[in-house]
Structure 1
Amino acid sequence: MVALAAVFPIYWLFATSLRRPEDVTSLSPLPWPVSIANYTDAATKVDIAGLIGNTFFVALLSAAAQLLIALLASYAFAMYTFPFRKVLYLAFVGTWLVPFQVTMLPNYVLLTRLGLINTLIGVVLPTLCSALAVLLLRQHLASFPKELVAAAKIDGRSSWSILWTVVVPNLRPALAALGILLFINAWNEYFWPAVVLRQSNSVLQLGLRSFMGTEGDQWGPMMALAGLACLPVLLMYLVLQRHIADAFVRSGLK
């Protein structure tokens, strides 16, 4: 029942997008007769391919950068001993508690001086580091068998080689689950792209505003574009769901 309750809004989204324009407000559970008029209307109103491409670029680059930086930082915090390690870790994770709205203005001023306003790189740059990702990966690495790392050092491997040949292969489920979480978070982001980007260089979430106006909202095309925005995330989850399940199972093992 809980699963049905969670899936029903997604079903209703696609059902509404497949109704005829005059039947968009219908409460019928089945969209009949089926029509793709809302999708064609959306395609004439906005550049769907461009919006999807921009959103995918921003989400993929942001998630990949956060994952890489979190992997390196968590590896250092978990495997090395150095002065003030705990203090630095707490300070690093403490940045997670600072609302993004507090750092929004300094980030905007910095991007303005760098000439990155209304660019996709300007959207990605302030999100390169995720304290949440470091926290989650550090928990996994803290329970990683230190014997494997010690054996690799005895074999003469460098720290960089140990990370990529010993640690990362055993963290694939956790990295896949975290990568999906970071990708979805970047894919769904609205506030920061709305500050940095203009309509001429936009992402899907901002493109939805094209169907909202003072004379009324165009629910059909809006649902069609929202449905297209959901598809990449759903497909990614279907492909990587096994790794997500493994991550939750292994997180409870010591």
Structure 2
Amino acid sequence: MTTDVTRSGRFGTFAGHLVLTLITVFSLAPIAWMYLTALRPRDDALDRSVLPSGLSLENLHSAAQLLPLGGLIGNTALMAAGVATCQLFTALLAAYAFGRWRFRGERVLFLVFVATWQVPFQVTMLPNYVLLSQLGWLQTLTGVIVPQAAAPFAVLLLRQHMRSFPRELLDAARMDGRSHWNTLWTVVVPSLRGPLSALAILLFVTAWNEYFWPLLVLSEPNTVVQIGLQSLITEAGTDYGAMMAAAGALCLPILAVYLVLQRQVVNAFIRSGLR
């Protein structure tokens, strides 16, 4: 009986690792194909063979001539940092209110707030675009950042941490005569430095990968990564080798950030109770 249970456990472990391996392969395949295409000789960019016939930096050289890669990375990093900062700040205030205070209708209000997460972007896209046009914020990074200043997901994640925060510390701060604002920044934030750092990384990566909204607000090809790559698609044709080389180069900063700090992101989900 014990042997059967052991075999069953081993089979379950093997099956689980097999599934994770397959998911990993399917997830990494597009990235691997992007870099393989970027390193192919220029004339073989559309070759469907798995391994390139040779390695060449021609596509990267062409991409550097067509696009200001350094400027695109800088502008995109500025946009992503602005979005992440605004979302983290608003989420911190909202999560503190939902986690610290108990009031009538609190749960309903929180559910309504989180329900906005389910509203499709296409529903709010047109009103936001018209508002930005009236404010004169089209073609600016401000127009990209401000409509994304709040993130219900960030509030949901931080609220879980706020709920588990020791109330004794909050009561002690109140007895010391500290205001809620002072308590938030001197007691709560230093204690939640890990989850806040992980959430900031996650928000930064998400903002960096955002495609449609920057493409809608901006149009100059030398602004952010999304517009720069889109400008390589022309009526005369698409230089896929240069596009893959540019995409590969522009992905390196965010891939490096995520690979180095991924443990903090995972820990934030585990400690919050979310999966």
TM-score, length-scaled by structure 1 = 0.89
Q: CA 1:248/1:198 → structure 2, altered by over 3 Å: closer, same or farther?
A: closer
Match of residue 10 from structure 2:
none
Q: Could you tell me which residue of structure 1 aligns to residue 84 of structure 2?
A: 63
Mapping for residues 108-119 of structure 1, pairs under 5 Å: 108-119=129-140
- What is the aligned-residue identity percentage? 53
* In 2: Cα distance, 1:44 partner to 1:186 partner: 26
1:172–1:243: 8 Å Cα contact kept in structure 2?
no
Structure 2: how far apart are the matches of 1:251 and 1:116? 37
The RMSD of aligned alpha carbons is: 2.2
Q: In 1, distance between residues paired with 2:222 and 2:30?
A: 29
Matched residues in 2 for 1:195 and 1:13: separation?
25
Inter-CA distance 32–173: structure 2 relative to 1 (3 Å threshold): farther
Structure 1 distance, partners of 2:221, 2:30, is 30
1:142-157 matched pairs, under 5 angstroms: 142-157=163-178
Aligned to 2:191: 170
Matched-pair contact (CA < 8 Å) for 1:174–1:247? yes
Whether the 8 Å CA contact 2:160–2:273 is kept in 1: the answer is no
For residues 122-141 of structure 1, the aligned pairs below 5 Å read 122-141=143-162
Counterpart mapping for 1:76-95 below 5 A = 76-95=97-116
Opposite residue 107 of structure 1, the aligned amino acid is N
| Residue in structure 2 matched with residue 228 of structure 1 by the alignment | 249
Letter in 1 for 2:213: W
SS at match of 2:113: helix
Name the residue aligned to 2:240: 219
For residue 241 of structure 2, give the secondary structure of its aligned residue in structure 1. helix
- Matched-pair contact (CA < 8 Å) for 2:83–2:207: yes
Question: Within 5 Å, which residues of 2 pair with 1:199-214?
Answer: 199-200=220-221, 202-214=223-235
Q: Residue in 1 aligned with 2:45?
A: 24
2:9 alignment counterpart: none
In 2, the alpha carbon distance for the partners of 1:188 and 1:121 equals 17
C-alpha distance in structure 2 between counterparts of 1:195 and 1:213, whole Å: 17
2:15 corresponds in structure 1 to: none
How far apart are residue 148 of structure 1 and its match? 2.2
CA–CA separation in structure 2 for the residues paired with 1:243 and 1:8:
25
CA distance in 2, matches of 1:102, 1:174: 31
Aligned residue type for 1:148 = L
Question: In structure 2, how many angstroms separate the alpha carbons of the residues matched to 1:186 and 1:237?
Answer: 13
Identify unmatched segments of 5+ residues in structure 1: none
- Output the CA distance in 2 between the equivalents of 1:73 and 1:201: 36
The CA distance in 2 between the partners of 1:124 and 1:23, in whole Å, is 39
Displacement of 1:34? 2.4
Evaluate the alpha carbon distance shift between residue 225 and residue 177 of structure 1 in structure 2; reply closer, same or farther with a 3 A threshold: same
